[in-house]
Chain A
Amino acid sequence: MTLVQNFEIFAPKLIDRKEYFSPGHRACQGCGEVLALRIILKALGDDVVISNATGCMEIISTAYPQTAWEVPYIHVAFENAAAVGSGVEAALKALRRKGRIPDRYVKSVAIAGDGGTADIGLQALSGAMERGHDLMFVCLDNEAYMNTGIQRSSETPFMAATTTSPAGKEIKGQRTGKKNVPEIMVAHGVPYVATACPSYPIDLVNKVKKAKAVKGPSYLHVFSMCPTGWRCASEITIKLGKLVVETGVFPLYEVENGKYRLTMEMPKKLRPVEDYLKHQGRFRHLSADDIKLVQKKVDYEIKKLMDKVGGLKGWDEK
């Protein structure tokens, strides 16, 4: 890692001290998702409207008549955060043009979990991005349906055990790997796509600010550690978020106008995936051979990403 990036990592003073997500919400101890949300809202500031999908962050924050949200917030249903966000954006645009609301820019931001993004919400997300709304979409990916009792999603990693992909005698957990939604968003021509993780708060803040600045669609895929669903100790949340990056399981990168850039430089030799897997109950059933298989998959994905980082030009570069 370069010096400058190290400086950024250890400069939390740069983050807004104001809280936009009130304490006293109902999230689990050690929740990485709510930490990500708190940082994201700090980076977004006041002038936003949030459209949230049904899920953990919705259910822990809005038990009527209470709310943890200090910014305007709407929840309609599970699969439609992007569609609701499109409507909010269209309304803000039209009403501002017609002089019915103050003449200043307000960003429409949709937030959903991995189910509300990659599974049931994928159609609405694809539609909103394709239509080119001035909409920032944030996926808080905790790699399963945690709110409903840890069922597998298309973001559950290879071989992870969930209640619907259990570690059985015949089938050892999740049979597929993660659906690559950032890549799907790049294919939509979304001008700014990035991955992030709250263990790297400054990196996350920078990406949120970049995504917010885009006058058009942008997409942020945020790795959100979940001690409850992953069967691990709640005090290792931040450590897990670091390990997932250092092992290359979840690399941090951004794609601006089609151009890939690593935002956390990869060390020459990545840590073995076992360092990340061994802390989590959902991978407890993996044998030495299974871990080798996981390692192989991770190596393959990293190589694919590195090829893009090295070989691609941005859409705006001739």
Chain B
Amino acid sequence: MGKRVGMEVGIAAAEAVALCNIDVAAVYPITPQSHIAEHLADIVHDGRINAEFITVESEHSSISACAGASAAGARVYTATSSQGLMLMHEILPIVSAMRLPVVMGNANRAISGPLNIWNDHTDIMPQRDCGWICMFAENGQEVIDMTIQSFKIAEHPDVMLPIVLNIDGFQLTHMIEPMEFPSQAQVNRFLPPRKPFVALHPDNPISMGCFNMPDIFTESMKAKETALRNSKKIIVKIWNEWGKLFGRHYRPVETYKAKGAKTLILTMGSMGETASVAVDEMRKKGASVGLVKMRLWRPLPIEELRAAIKGAKTLIVMDRAISFGGAGGPVATDIKSYLFQDKSRPRIVNYIMGLGGRDVTVDDFIAMTKKAAKKKEDTFEFYGVRE
């Protein structure tokens, strides 16, 4: 096991990508970016890895270049954020439909308007239905581990799907944390060079991206849905393999003091750490509170979630995005629709908070939990609006 180092998480993400021996990276610094791309450029320009680094002229082209490179058989990485991810949107469902294993680090930040650039999840939520595997990291160590795992998952012959790893902008990307890196030899053993099922090469000329008439399009969509759902099995398998190798275990839904708790807080991403401190504080005062953290957002791990919330009376879902004019935050909306038929299910209190870099403190989690205790039915509301 390597020694612990103090490092900015964005830099650590780039170092993790370098350990994976990528072949091609394409990045664009749309407002805003993280240090992932900059540090990856350092690594390539210093000759530490044997890769092509394409400084594209837009995020639209960065994901397009990644698609081309992945189709030609390369191991491919890109990093993006906010407006950049929005500009990629058109190409995202094409990449997943073509079953191209692109790995993307997304420094989660608010989308315009108004222009903001700080942390929330409004950038990734509009990409929810694009058919990508979508995960959230909670801290720097998870960013390193999950980045390496992502290549193995994406390139697995039974998966062959793109992955977006969400890394909360600033709150995580710009933090300096103590972390451990696996050695190059360990990563090489865990993640050998990509062996594509098919690739663009004259030795085996194939056509990729053929259009579908109405008689086959539905079947293509069903195939994508099946592939994404089935990916969970492989994801869990690879996470278990990682756990055995490195002693750090990953599950689709993580829990903290959740067993038997009457009230559960549900978070995704870096907020989980703050929420766990809040749980400790409330537990000290005798409250029956626990924490559920969704690591996997797509495919949505509903079985694991059902098991994690069993017996709880109140589930407080923290959404860092909203579907305007709809049923609330996207995470709560999804969970509600899944649990709708369940005979006994917790009351779901949905808070929209932590938008555009608004800090959510331990006290805020305690205040929200207290407020939620008074709710008689499912609700959703903004928390912390200054009126």
A and B found bound together: yes
Residues of A within 8 A of B (CB): 46-49, 51, 58-59, 62-67, 69-77, 79-80, 82-88, 90-95, 97-98, 100-102, 106, 123-124, 126-128, 130-131
List B contacts of A72 (CB < 8 A).
200-202, 204-207
Out of A62, A83, A127, A128, which one reaches B210, CB within 8 Å? A62
List B contacts of A74 (CB < 8 A).
67-68, 71, 200, 207-209
> Can you name 29 A-B pairs with beta carbons within 8 Å?
A47-B202, A49-B202, A59-B211, A62-B211, A63-B210, A63-B213, A66-B210, A71-B202, A72-B205, A74-B208, A75-B208, A75-B210, A75-B211, A76-B91, A76-B98, A76-B209, A79-B60, A83-B61, A87-B54, A87-B66, A88-B71, A90-B65, A91-B71, A94-B23, A100-B193, A106-B202, A127-B56, A127-B58, A131-B55
List B contacts of A87 (CB < 8 A).
24, 26, 54, 64-72, 76
List B contacts of A82 (CB < 8 A).
61
In the bound complex, do residue B73 and residue A91 qualify as a contact, i.e. CB atoms below 8 Å apart?
yes
In the bound complex, do residue A94 and residue B57 qualify as a contact, i.e. CB atoms below 8 Å apart?
no
A93 to B68, CA, bound (A): 13
> Which among A62, A88, A91, A95 has the highest number of chain B CB atoms within 10 Å?
A91
- Chain B: interface size category: 35 or more
A237 to B274, CA, bound (A): 70
Which B67-121 residues have a C-beta within 8 angstroms of A? 67-74, 76, 90-91, 94, 98
In the bound complex, do residue B69 and residue A77 qualify as a contact, i.e. CB atoms below 8 Å apart?
no
> Which among A95, A128, A131 has the highest number of chain B CB atoms within 10 Å?
A95
Residues of B within 8 A of A (CB): 23-24, 26, 50-52, 54-58, 60-62, 64-74, 76, 90-91, 94, 98, 193, 199-213, 216
Out of B74, B91, B202, B208, which one reaches A94, CB within 8 Å? B74
In the bound complex, do residue B57 and residue A67 qualify as a contact, i.e. CB atoms below 8 Å apart?
no
A69 to B205, CA, bound (A): 8
In the bound complex, do residue B207 and residue A73 qualify as a contact, i.e. CB atoms below 8 Å apart?
yes
List A contacts of B201 (CB < 8 A).
49, 72, 101-102, 106
A77 to B67, CA, bound (A): 11
In the bound complex, do residue B68 and residue A76 qualify as a contact, i.e. CB atoms below 8 Å apart?
yes
For the complex of A and B, list the 6 residue pairs with the smallest distance between their C-beta atoms, beginning with the closest: A87-B68, A127-B57, A87-B65, A83-B61, A91-B72, A83-B64
A152 to B52, CA, bound (A): 38
In the bound complex, do residue A94 and residue B67 qualify as a contact, i.e. CB atoms below 8 Å apart?
no
A51 to B208, CA, bound (A): 10
B18 CB to closest chain A CB (Å) equals: 14
A94 to B58, CA, bound (A): 22
> Which among B51, B52, B72, B208 has the highest number of chain A CB atoms within 10 Å?
B72
Out of A49, A93, A126, which one reaches B200, CB within 8 Å? A49
In the bound complex, do residue A98 and residue B50 qualify as a contact, i.e. CB atoms below 8 Å apart?
yes
In the bound complex, do residue B60 and residue A71 qualify as a contact, i.e. CB atoms below 8 Å apart?
no
Out of B23, B213, B216, which one reaches A95, CB within 8 Å? B23
Question: Which residue of chain A lies nearest to B28 when distances are taken between CB atoms in the complex?
Answer: A127
In the bound complex, do residue B50 and residue A97 qualify as a contact, i.e. CB atoms below 8 Å apart?
yes
A77 CB to closest chain B CB (Å) equals: 6
A312 CB to closest chain B CB (Å) equals: 28
Given A71-B205, A73-B208, A95-B23, answer yes or no on A88-B200 (Cβ-Cβ < 8 Å): yes
A82 CB to closest chain B CB (Å) equals: 8
Question: Which residue of chain A lies nearest to B198 when distances are taken between CB atoms in the complex?
Answer: A72
In the bound complex, do residue A88 and residue B210 qualify as a contact, i.e. CB atoms below 8 Å apart?
no
In the bound complex, do residue A83 and residue B65 qualify as a contact, i.e. CB atoms below 8 Å apart?
yes
A98 to B193, CA, bound (A): 10
In the bound complex, do residue A64 and residue B68 qualify as a contact, i.e. CB atoms below 8 Å apart?
no
Question: Which residue of chain A lies nearest to B23 when distances are taken between CB atoms in the complex?
Answer: A94
Out of A51, A63, A65, A94, which one reaches B68, CB within 8 Å? A51
B15 CB to closest chain A CB (Å) equals: 19
B302 CB to closest chain A CB (Å) equals: 32
Given A86-B54, A98-B23, A127-B57, answer yes or no on A62-B68 (Cβ-Cβ < 8 Å): no
A189 CB to closest chain B CB (Å) equals: 16
A71 to B200, CA, bound (A): 9
A277 to B204, CA, bound (A): 45
In the bound complex, do residue B68 and residue A86 qualify as a contact, i.e. CB atoms below 8 Å apart?
yes
List A contacts of B72 (CB < 8 A).
49, 87-88, 91-92, 95
B222 CB to closest chain A CB (Å) equals: 15
